[in-house]
Amino acid sequence: MTSSGAATESALIDRIRPRLHHKLRPLFNESSRCLPILQSTCQQILNHVGPQSSAVSLARVISHDHGLTCKVLQVANSIAYSPQQTIVSIPHAVSWLGLDTVRSLVAAAHLVEQLQHWPVRQQEFRTLIAKSLISATYASELGVAIGYPQPGQLFTGTLLYSIGDLAIAYEDPDLFLALQTISKKTKRPSECALEETRLIGVPRLTLAQALAHMWKLPDELIELFRHAEELPMGRWNSEFQTYRGIVVGSIRLVEELTGPAPRTACEEVKKTLQDGSGLSSALFTDLTIRAMDRGRQLIRSMGLSIDSSEEPIPPSTEPDATGSIPDPFPINNQPVGNEQAVVPPRDEPAAPIQTKPLETLLAFQNSLHAAKDLNSLLGACVQSLHQNAGFHRVGLALLNLNDSDLLVGRLVLGGNPPAPYLRSLSGSLSREHQFFLMVLKRVDPLLVPNFSDQKAETLKQDFLEVWKPTSAIVAPLRVGAKPIGLIYCDRSAGSQPVQPLDYQAFQLFFAQATLGINRLAGIL
């Protein structure tokens, strides 16, 4: 630091120290327990995002740390980051995810590691770090979308923006919680700063600015702390305005999305970010969905969640669950198709696809063309597979809109009663449905001759107990290259196995359904 910079830091600290709440004054003492922990964390984060950090050096650092290796591979293999292939090596993960994303993962891991040093109330700190990571993901994605020269710088700035709050939380959790309450109840920055001054002696950002000086954080972040948190309105016209708009706007948006704020408040922040970035409504909406999804995969890999009451955001398991579907498909609040239990007769006739193939396919195509939205199209597909293709049981599960690690059972035909079958299809891909995760990476349907050949740990126990699968066909559903869910078909437990002839029939229906999905999406 230059002599003028050191003087500025000293003058700022000398000015605020007498006014600061006595419980926070140790933050500027060298003997403070908090100082070496957070200062070291900041330095490691900045080292990993600096120009000296190469793909080779990062891969080496990750490979020597088993825990970090697992985190990086988990994120790399999530649907949010890698929708069409399985990644098994760190060099492949680094090249696929990109240097900025991997740097961000390593930096985030350093921050999370420090949780073991926190004295009490770890959940509040874990939530703060989780929100910071999701905000940083938003900032990075927005930076990439508008061609910001260093999106990794946006991630780091957003992640480190909360370092002052973490320092306060370390010294006194009660003051931290009181400051959180102020920020939630008071929206105008000037009023918020006044309330914070009454509580801790100085505005929260002033304290963060002094700590940022002391810990030698980037100049643009220090400059950010020097200003009130009012978001710049209209189109951003300068580099700093863009930096400030993205960092503060991303933090504000995640705070609104994850809190009890009214929908209007969230829409206002979104509009400010969209106006500032100049992105179209469609592009901005797509970015918001992608950023939330990727942020959730990131915090999940770190063992964090946004709120202590969630694990995180479990899917609905009710029979009429309508889990979210990626835009541009509007979803209503009605179940897909008509959920019903149908038990096939013992001496069943040949399936219509075998006796009247042309008429059956023509009727199926007509039902797909008549579908006005994804709900009705998938309902028609499931009905046809059950009634016309000869499959006794058909299950449909879709990915959650904001968290593509979560599979949501949506429709079951041939399972009686439907609710347990739907619940067994729902759950986390990374923790419970690794087999389905592998299927979602495929493009073509998979014929499973014998489920006993699959590793038990890759299949959810509830799924095995409810469905009792022997052989089946499982196929990924895609909009373009993006997976949105899967279809499961079999001939019911204890019945004859699925044959190659069944696979050929399934492919006829599957090909038409895929065309219909992409037609609705405007891709075809």
pLDDT single digits (tens) 145-179: 999 988 878 888 888 888 888 888 878 888 988 98
**Same domain, residue pair 293 and 383:** no
Q: Domain containing 253: what range?
A: 17-301
The 10s digit of each residue's pLDDT in 135-148 is 999 999 999 999 99
Same domain, yes or no: 371 and 290: no
Residue 326 lies in a domain: no
Q: Give the mean pLDDT of the chain.
A: 82
Q: 441 lies in a domain?
A: yes
Looking at the structure, tell me whether residues 25 and 87 fall in a common domain.
yes
- Residue 345: predicted pLDDT: 44
Residue 472 has pLDDT above 90, yes or no: yes
Q: Is the pLDDT of residue 263 over 90?
A: no
Instruction: Provide the greatest CA pair distance for the chain.
Output: 91
DSSP state of 388: T
User: For position 248, which CATH number holds?
Assistant: 1.10.3210.10
2 lies in some domain: no
pLDDT at 314 over 60: no
Give the C-alpha separation, 257 to 27, whole Å.
Answer: 31
- Give the residue-averaged pLDDT of 418-440: 94
Q: What is the pLDDT of residue 31?
A: 66
Percent of the chain beyond pLDDT 70? Answer: 83
| 19-69 pLDDT, tens digit each | 999 988 888 876 666 666 666 666 666 766 555 567 787 788 788 888 889
Q: What per-residue confidence (pLDDT) applies to 332?
A: 35
Question: Considering only 190-204, 211-225, 463-477, which range has the smallest mean pLDDT?
Answer: 211-225
Q: Which residue has the higher pLDDT, 315 or 185?
A: 185
Ramachandran quadrant class, 480 (left: phi over 0; alpha: psi -120 to 50; beta: rest): left
Residue 315 in this model has a pLDDT that exceeds 90: no
| Per-residue pLDDT at 103 exceeds 70 | yes
* Count of structural domains within the chain: 2
- Residues 6+ positions from 170 with CB-CB distance below 8 Å: 33, 34, 37, 38, 117, 118, 119
Verify that 356 and 442 share a domain, yes or no. yes
Conformational region of residue 147, where left means phi above 0, alpha means psi within -120 to 50, and beta covers everything else: left
| pLDDT value of position 164 | 86
264, 376: one domain: no
DSSP state of 459: S
| Per-residue pLDDT at 494 | 65
The answer to whether residue 329 is domain-embedded is: no
What's the pLDDT at 200?
A: 92
Report the pLDDT averaged over residues 9-21. 84
Whether 439 maps to a domain, the answer reads yes
Measure the CA–CA gap between 372 and 409, rounded to whole angstroms: 22
Residues 248 and 145 in one domain: yes
Count CB-CB contacts under 10 A for residue 204: 23
- Summarised one tens digit per residue, pLDDT across range 351-364 is 888 889 899 999 99
In this predicted structure, the answer to whether residue 334 has a pLDDT above a threshold of 70 is no
- Structural domain contains residue 330: no
Q: Are 124 and 269 contained in the same domain?
A: yes
Question: pLDDT value at position 507?
Answer: 95
The span from the CA of 50 to the CA of 62, in Å, is 16
Same domain, 362 and 266: no
Residues 337 and 379: their CA atoms lie apart, in Å, by 4
Average the pLDDT over 194-199 and give the result. Answer: 92
Among the listed ranges 117-131, 235-249, 305-319, which one has the minimum average pLDDT value?
Answer: 305-319
Q: Is the pLDDT of residue 328 over 50?
A: no
- Give the percent of the chain with pLDDT over 90: 39
- Assess if residue 114 is contained within a domain: yes
261 and 360 belong to one structural domain: no
Do 103 and 244 lie in one domain? The reply is yes
pLDDT at residue number 410: 95
Q: Are residues 204 and 72 in the same domain?
A: yes
DSSP state of 340: B
408 against 167, higher pLDDT: 408
308 pLDDT exceeds 60?
no
Q: What is the pLDDT of residue 273?
A: 94
409 with 264, same domain?
no
Q: Is residue 157 part of a domain?
A: yes
The residue type at 223? E
Instruction: Give the pLDDT confidence score for residue 231 in this predicted structure.
Output: 76
Higher pLDDT, 370 or 262: 370
Last residue of a domain, one of 279, 301, 323: 301
Tell me: pLDDT of 238 over 90.
no
